[in-house]
């Protein structure tokens, strides 16, 4: 245990001194130092029962899993692996994780209407798509992610959010509220957004907690690119945000992780009843998770899927992007509108039309069928700017 403490700094010492239990599932180099819980060691896909058994709170154990990865695709894969393979019937789990800078969009969102994708590339900020609904969020190491796992019949979003608000009050006397959208707000500004994946037999609810995120990068990353997008994809609802460190300067992610984890362990499984240290000592405690193939067979395949172009971009619902452009002419030139239909992330139909006309002239370009991005869109615009207005008129059969 002394080796464990030296490797994991004061945070683990805090956990142990407060009565928590710590199990290390895997060391950072992949070598195991403890046997994994049986549910992790032998993953099985739980079958949906005809009538879910009623399990009393006293028979339900709790664990707090802490991911040792800061890679967003690995953490999304870990979340998905637990959802698909873990048996939560007698064991509820809170997964705590943090990512290197990234923007994570909901399953049914359009990244180009939610973020400035080209700027993300320039800044080295990863774009990811999760498997739950909800809006786009910015993550960095100043943001803590919480995923609450339970059987579907015990799904309780309000319970989970209250765990967070109670932890904030107990640790820092911060008064946080849950609004009608199930966001957590402090002084009318959002510190946490929420989303869920509801399946059978398992479900999860996850939320973010802004502790000390880079608000400049957050704002720039979630500013959409300049164009007119016509899309039926789920749109995010903009909200003013606040870091917890702006409320209390002593807040940090390590302490926040401990506070939320302990609040979860000391609370009854299905009711907001504080059992204190007695309740906490009945649980399985904190467990450090290194999400590798050795401990989670199949996680590498899940990660490959989450990081693939087909998932991040190709999963985007069909949309149309429009841009106005000027074409040179003999006198005053001509104003046209470029229209590009995008399906499965690829530019399918490309055309131009006059603002006062319904007629669309197809544009022949080798970029048709290529992935939609700002660079390819600008390539089409650059080529069209070289077209003479008289040629456009001829193509439109003299209708102008």
Domains in the chain with CATH codes:
2-312 (3.30.930.10), 319-395 (no CATH)
Neighbouring CB atoms inside 10 A of 167's CB total 25
72-85 and 299-306 helices, crossing angle to 10°? 130
Contact 284, 60 (CB under 8 A): no
pLDDT for the residue numbered 237: 87
pLDDT at residue 40, rounded to an integer: 46
**Contact by Cβ (8 Å): 160, 105:** no
Give yes or no for a contact between 167 and 186, defined as CB atoms under 8 angstroms apart. no
Q: What gap in Å lies between CA 10 and CA 40, rounded to an integer?
A: 27
Q: Is 202 in contact with 87 (CB distance < 8 Å)?
A: no
b/e burial code for range 294-304 (CB count within 10 A of at least 16 → b): ebbeebeebbe
Q: At what angle do helices 2-17 and 253-266 cross, to 10 degrees?
A: 70
Look at the alpha carbons of 283, 288, 291, 292 in this order and tell me if their dihedral is positive or negative: negative
* Nearest of 58, 66, 81, 82 to residue 22 by alpha carbon: 66
Kindly state the helix (H) or strand (E) to which residue 209 belongs, with its residue range: strand 202-210
Q: Are 290 and 78 in contact, with CB atoms under 8 Å apart?
A: no
pTM of the model: 0.84
Q: Alpha-carbon distance 165 to 145, whole Å?
A: 14
Asked if omega into 128 is within 30° of 0 (cis), the reply is no
Nearest alpha carbon to residue 352 among 341, 339, 366: 339
- pLDDT at position 18: 38
The tens-digit pLDDT sequence of the chain (400 residues) is 332 222 233 333 333 333 444 444 443 333 333 344 444 444 445 555 455 668 888 899 999 999 999 999 999 999 999 999 999 999 999 999 999 999 999 999 999 999 989 889 888 999 999 999 999 999 999 999 999 999 999 999 999 999 999 999 999 999 999 999 999 999 999 999 999 999 999 999 999 999 999 998 888 888 877 788 999 899 888 889 999 999 999 999 999 999 999 999 999 999 999 999 999 999 999 999 999 999 999 999 999 999 999 999 999 999 999 988 877 665 666 788 899 999 999 999 999 887 667 778 888 889 999 999 988 998 888 888 776 656 666 655 544 4
Which residues, in sequence order, are bridge partners of residue 324? 337
Q: What is the pLDDT of residue 224?
A: 79
Buried b (16+ CB within 10 A) or exposed e, 168-185: beebbebebebeeebbbb
8 Å CB contact between 46 and 152? no
């Amino acid at each position: 245990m002394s080796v464990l403490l030296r490797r994991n700094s004061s945070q683990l010492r805090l956990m142990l001194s407060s009565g928590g239990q710590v199990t290390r599932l895997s060391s950072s180099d992949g070598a195991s130092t403890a046997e994994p819980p049986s549910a992790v060691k032998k993953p099985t896909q739980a079958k949906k029962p005809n009538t879910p058994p009623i399990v009393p709170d006293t028979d339900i154990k709790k664990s707090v899993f802490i991911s040792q990865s800061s890679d967003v695709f690995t953490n999304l894969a870990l979340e998905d692996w637990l959802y698909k393979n873990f048996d939560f019937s007698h064991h509820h789990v809170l997964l705590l994780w943090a990512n290197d800078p990234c923007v994570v969009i909901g399953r049914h969102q359009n990244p180009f209407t939610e973020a400035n994708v080209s700027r993300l590339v320039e800044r080295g900020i990863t774009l990811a798509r999760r498997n739950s609904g909800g809006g786009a969020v910015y993550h960095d190491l100043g943001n803590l992610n919480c995923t609450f796992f339970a059987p579907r019949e015990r799904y309780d979003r309000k319970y989970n959010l209250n765990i967070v608000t109670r932890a904030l009050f107990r640790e820092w006397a911060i008064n946080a509220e849950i609004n009608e959208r199930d966001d957590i707000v402090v002084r009318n500004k959002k510190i946490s957004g929420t989303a869920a994946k509801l399946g059978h037999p398992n479900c999860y609810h996850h939320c973010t907690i802004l502790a000390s995120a880079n608000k400049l990068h957050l704002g720039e990353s979630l500013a959409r690119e300049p164009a007119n997008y016509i899309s039926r994809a789920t749109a995010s609802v903009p909200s003013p945000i606040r870091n917890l460190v702006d409320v209390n300067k002593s807040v940090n992610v390590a302490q926040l992780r401990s506070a939320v984890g302990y609040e979860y362990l000391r609370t009854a499984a299905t009711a907001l009843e504080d059992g204190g240290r007695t309740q906490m000592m009945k649980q399985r405690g904190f467990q450090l998770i290194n999400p590798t193939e050795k401990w989670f067979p199949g996680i590498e395949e899940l990660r490959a899927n989450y990081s693939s172009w087909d998932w991040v971009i190709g999963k985007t619902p069909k949309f149309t992007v429009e841009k106005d452009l000027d074409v040179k002419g003999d006198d005053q030139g001509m104003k046209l509108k470029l229209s590009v239909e995008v399906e499965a992330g690829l530019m399918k139909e490309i055309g131009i039309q006059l603002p006062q006309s319904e007629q669309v002239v197809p544009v022949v370009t080798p970029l048709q069928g290529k992935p939609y991005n700002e660079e390819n869109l600008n390539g089409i615009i650059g080529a069209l700017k070289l077209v003479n207005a008289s040629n456009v008129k001829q193509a439109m059969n003299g209708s102008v």
